[in-house]
Amino acid sequence: MVSVGALRAHLVAAGLAGSVAARRETSLAHYGLFAARDPRQTCGLDPAGEWGATDLLRLMADRCGVSPDPACTTGPDTIDPDRTLAALDAFAQRLARAAHDRAPVLLGTGHPHRLLGFYAPLAAALSSAGCQVLTPHYGHCMRMRTQFGVRAHRLAYVGGVAVVRGEGDGKGVHTHSALPVRAALAAAAEHCGTLPKLVVGDHGFACGAGQLGIEAIALGGCGDPAVFVAEAEGMVSVAVPVQDTAQPGRYDPLAAYVLKGAWLAQ
């Protein structure tokens, strides 16, 4: 079992909160891209508000704990570990409700090399609790824009968690796109007749679901404004601020903490 104190210490020691690997200049650049409605940062979200770069900095300071000072433009960025802990508690409470209701759920990540080990235990626990863990449209081919141009990708599921794989090598790819969750939800509606009551994920999986009116809970880094804008506008129920590019094993205590809080620990 993971105590609050032990997890807080782990968050800071592992670089998941406190001073993190994300660079301040990168985060500010991402805020600017979101303000310009660049799809690389909107993650499928069509926000109702204006959300200029100044508004986003203020929001991210409030939700993540980054410095609110616009004159701070370089160096490592920061995430407040106490905000992370509070959001993980809310995340666990929402999972507990889904388990109690035996609600159908869909899990997906745009960080398959980093966060799959966080989501897969949640999928297994929810399934054991009687939830239907949906895996619609396995193998579906999508044409997605990358830094190398438009390439073919496929939707896959690993441990009940949706990921995107390259068409050529089959490796998991990092993506902010909402196309995978849109494809999965369309297939769930058309072929399965069952839509998820809750989507658990990050990037386009969470924002894309929220934009379509399906409740989502998410992880997000301090350079991921879309997740926190979606939370502020009510399209994501819980957004957990956490560095999302650390080594995979560092997220294991977070999964254990969430499962304990959701009364899903074995």
What are the backbone dihedrals phi and psi of residue 112, each rounded to the nearest 5 degrees, phi first?
-60, -30
Q: Which residues pair with 201 in a beta bridge?
A: 108, 218
pLDDT tens by residue, the chain, 266 residues: 679 999 999 999 999 999 999 999 999 999 999 999 999 999 999 999 999 999 999 999 999 999 999 999 999 999 999 999 999 999 999 999 999 999 999 999 999 999 999 999 999 999 999 999 999 999 889 888 765 667 888 999 999 999 999 876 778 889 999 999 999 999 999 877 899 999 999 999 999 999 999 999 999 999 999 999 999 999 999 999 999 999 999 999 999 999 999 999 86
Structure tokens at 203: 């990037």
The pTM score is 0.95
The set of residues, in sequence order, having a beta carbon less than 8 Å from that of 99 and lying 6+ positions away, is 125, 126, 129, 130, 131, 262, 263, 264
Q: In this structure, how many other beta carbons lie within 10 angstroms of the beta carbon of residue 141?
A: 12
Q: What is the CATH number of domain 4-261?
A: 3.40.50.10490
